[in-house]
Structure 1
Amino acid sequence: MKKQKLVILGGGESGVGTALLGKANGYAVFVSDKGKIKEKYKQVLIHNEIEWEEEQHTEDKIFEADIVMKSPGIPEKVAIVKALIDKGVPVISEIEFACQFTDATIVAITGSNGKTTTSMLTHHVLKQELDVGLAGNIGDSFAKQVLEHNYKNYVLEISSFQLDGCINFKPNIAVITNIVPDHLDRYDYKFDNYIASKFKITQNQTKEDYLIYDADDEVILQYINNNNIQATLLPFSLTKTIENGAYLDQDNIIITIDNNQIIMPTKNIALEGKHNTKNAMAASTVAHLLQIRKQTIRESLENFQGVEHRLENVLKINKVQYINDSKATNVNATYFALDSMESPTVWIVGGVDKGNNYQELYPFINEKVKAIICLGVDNEKLLASFGKMVDVIVETQFMSEAVKIAYKLAEAGDSVLLSPACASFDLFENYEDRGRQFKEAVRNL
């Protein structure tokens, strides 16, 4: 019998993980990357005798595919992907490919913001009592973990791009943290397309599965009310009393699932801010579903260290706190950051604008922001939006300079916040690179 041919577009973490899993399961594998493949991934492919190419797509070889796994970074509008779809070749994501080779319990977490923190927090709680892997948009690829570890449980952080390539993927527990306009450039600038993409997380769920979601999010509520969702719903809320799900009652999170109730005090939760109370609700609800002991959940929430580049306290210099929130790549994430500021703030913002509407930030600018530093190649929209609202607004294209300007502007008791509300690709490799450069510049002051 002829081997099925698996073609992988993109030789990064998810591509190479899929190649290894595909080969182990009897596929003939070919990896093709339009750019350069990193040396560490090249070595893995060579060592495992997997055929690969870089800086080109050889169409003859690609069109021999029975199935194609594309990296989430490649848009569906790319010519080669369109051609494959027109030919009727299934083009799927790594999550879709790998899930068929595991019987593990899967917790899948998506949302515009909070998904990394919620995924890491959920994994942190579960790993105290369960055999659990953390994958998806984070850490080692899911496919590679399925091959090498075969965990009994997985927490997967999943982006809309990964969900776009899912057909049969069916998590036991799905979480949607929130939905706000983001990545609209990939969705024909239609918010509805992006919303539908997020809800693919629950498309194959049955009433034996669970959908945990933010009941304070109008976009999510509207979609659930207008669409037939089969999963058992477990909402969480800061403002409403919830019968089945989680809610906040003064300083306690109350979680009820099938009349089984647990109460978690919020006062010692390591992560501060309203949005983190929500992340803690989502993680605790998952843990309660998977029968983690209440004591374990409580202790885990109290000792969780947080996520790098997300409201990360870097240093205090001359009584000024420097905060790295480079992971805030959209307006809603920056909204949470500014909302949690309790002192006058020098705000570093800017990058590649994804069709941002800055209006929801105006109240915070008036109330908390004393100066704005625009760090981007094109800052016109920022200058137009905020120019009249603060006394000091300056532009730069260098992180070191941005931090030096902030140092001059900030006085004892102030905060300096990097929360860009934009993508990083104009001046940096990615948001991690941007955050690391910020931390380095602060340490060099």
Structure 2
Amino acid sequence: MEKKRIAILGAGESGVGAAMLAQKHGYDVFVSDFGTIPSQYKEKLEALNIVFEENTHTAAEILKAVEVIKSPGIPDTAGIIKEIRSRNIPVLSEIEFAKRYTKAKTICITGSNGKTTTTMLTYHILKNAGLNVGLAGNIGHSFAAQVASADFDWYVLEISSFMLDDMYDFKADIAVLLNITPDHLDRYDYKLGNYAASKMRITQNQTSEDIFIYCADDEETLKALKNVKVDSKTYPFSIRKKIEKGAYLESNNIHININLNDQLTMSITELALQGKHNIYNSMASGIVAKVLDIRNTAIRESMGDFKNIEHRLEHVARISGVDYINDSKATNVNSTWYALESVGTDVILIMGGVDKGNDYDMLKDMVRQKVKAIVCLGKDNKRIHEAFEDDVEIIVNTFSAHEAVQVAYHLAKKGNTVLLSPACASFDLFKNYEDRGNQFKAAVKEL
């Protein structure tokens, strides 16, 4: 009997993981990447004798597939995707495909900002509490690769809107939506409503047995909730008002009350993650932990000793009384707002890169209050100059991480913070945000 073909577009972490899982389940696998495949992934494909191509998409081979698994980074407007869809071949995400082959339960975390931190914190709490738990999605090792080779009871998955767009039968046992702010609007016809609808797909297929956790202070989330029917049990969280079942902040204490006989109360001073936005992230993770009946002492301990991820408000060094912080993962305006909000000193802000249709207005007040100078790091900084020329005295253009750090070093005074928080994607000067963050850290270490 001839094997059914699965074509996989994109040979990064998710694509290669999907290829491994598809091969394990007896499919004829063909992997196609329009760019160059990184050597570590090429070696994996070769070791498994999986057929692949790079720097091209051969339509004749791809269109033989019964299903196509595409990388989240490939837009629906790509020619090959249009051709696949015109033949009515289903296009799905690696997450959708992998879920078919596991009985594990999933905790799925999405939001414009904070999802990586919240995913990592949730995983940290669950793992410390002794649960048999995996970490995947937009972070760590591919979900499909882990389903192919591991046997977890639970997965904590960081889910982007691009992944959600290609998820249909998938169901989150516990879904978390942190916030909805303008991001990636270039993929959503520049309409926030389209992007919000994409985020709400996190609740699709949920039943009354499932859980949906969301921010009751987020206007766009509340708006989007009016357009969908949510069948799951809902637990909101807020720092503005008391919540009967969920989490809230009162006189600098977080209260998590899922079970009224076993409430968790914790001072925000005990949290490893500081800043207003991190109170939200901690509440969301705390609700997940309480839903899973993890003991209060274990939750407190994990929330107190958590170390944040690389490139997210990562303290690099203190040199001559100046702190250097790497927040390269801040690829949208809202993330940069949060970064500025969490820094308690005057800031020399390094920002810029590929602008995804950014609206810098929301940053203006924060920039006026805290930013002494902006060091632009990007090929085209015109929009940053236009946005902030009335708010900041000094705006300087630089074209490498080394140059940006040197300029910031000369502008900073003792007690200041040099913050790399770009509000933009990195593809003009760097491979990705990790490359940008690593080059920034290397430049700081040379000072």
Alignment TM-score, normalising by the size of structure 1 = 0.98
Q: Which residue in the other structure is 1:423 paired with? A: 425
Q: Hey, what does 2:85 align to over in structure 1?
A: 85
Task: Report the alpha carbon displacement of residue 41 of structure 1 after superposing the two structures with TM.
Answer: 1.3
- CA shift, 1:343, in A, is 1.2
Task: Write the deviation string for residues 414-433 of structure 1: whole angstroms up to 9, x where unpaired.
Answer: 11111111111111111111
The aligned residue for residue 341 of structure 2 is 339
**Counterpart residue identity of residue 312, structure 2:** R
The 5-angstrom pairing of residues 6-405 of structure 1 reads 6-128=6-128, 129-260=130-261, 261-405=263-407
Q: Distance in 2 between matches of 1:257 and 1:4?
A: 47
C-alpha deviation, 1:338, in angstroms: 1.1
Aligned partners of 1:36, 1:371: CA distance in 2, in Å? Answer: 38
Q: State the secondary structure of the residue aligned to 1:127.
A: helix
2:174–2:210: 8 Å Cα contact kept in structure 1? yes
Q: Secondary structure at the match of 1:241?
A: coil
Whole-Å separation in 2 of the counterparts to 1:264 and 1:170: 32
Name the amino acid aligned to 1:200. R
Post-superposition CA distance 1:74-104 (Å, at most 9, x none) = 1111111111111111000000000011111
Residue 375 of structure 1: how far off its partner (Å): 1.1
Secondary structure of 2:418's match?
Answer: strand
Letter in 1 for 2:72: P
Q: Secondary structure at the residue paired with 1:394?
A: strand
User: Per-residue displacement from partner, 1:296-330 (whole Å, max 9, x unpaired)?
Assistant: 10000111011111111111111011111111111
CA distance in 1 between counterparts of 2:43 and 2:418 reads 42
Give the drift of 1:69.
0.2
Amino acid at match of 1:434: R
Residue deviations 1:345-364 (CA, integer Å, cap 9, x gap): 11111111111111111112
Q: Residue in 1 aligned with 2:443?
A: 441
SS in 2 for 1:323: strand
Q: Is the 8 A contact 2:200 2:225 kept in 1?
A: no
Residue-by-residue CA offset, 1:155-195 (whole Å, 9 max, x unaligned):
00011111111010101000011110101111111111111
SS in 1 for 2:269: coil
Q: Which residue is 2:415 aligned to?
A: 413
Aligned residue for 2:343, secondary structure, equals coil
For 1:285, the aligned partner's letter is: I
- 1:64 is paired with a residue of what secondary structure? coil
Q: Secondary structure at the match of 1:226?
A: coil
* Per-residue Cα deviation, 1:46-82 (whole angstroms, up to 9, x for no partner): 2112111111211111111101000111111111111
- Between 132-141 and 28-37, report the one with greater CA deviation: 28-37
Q: Distance in 1 between matches of 2:213 and 2:56?
A: 42
- What CA RMSD, in Å, does the superposition of the two structures yield over aligned residues? 1.0
| Partner SS for 1:370 | strand
The DSSP-based 3-state class of the residue aligned with 2:270 is coil
Which contiguous aligned blocks of 4+ residues in structure 1 show a shift greater than 3 angstroms? none
The separation in 1 between residues aligned to 2:380 and 2:196, in whole angstroms, is 28
| CA apart distance, 1:258 | 4.5
Q: Secondary structure at the match of 2:140?
A: coil
8 A contact 2:213–2:237 mirrored in 1: yes
TM-score w.r.t. structure 2 length? Answer: 0.98
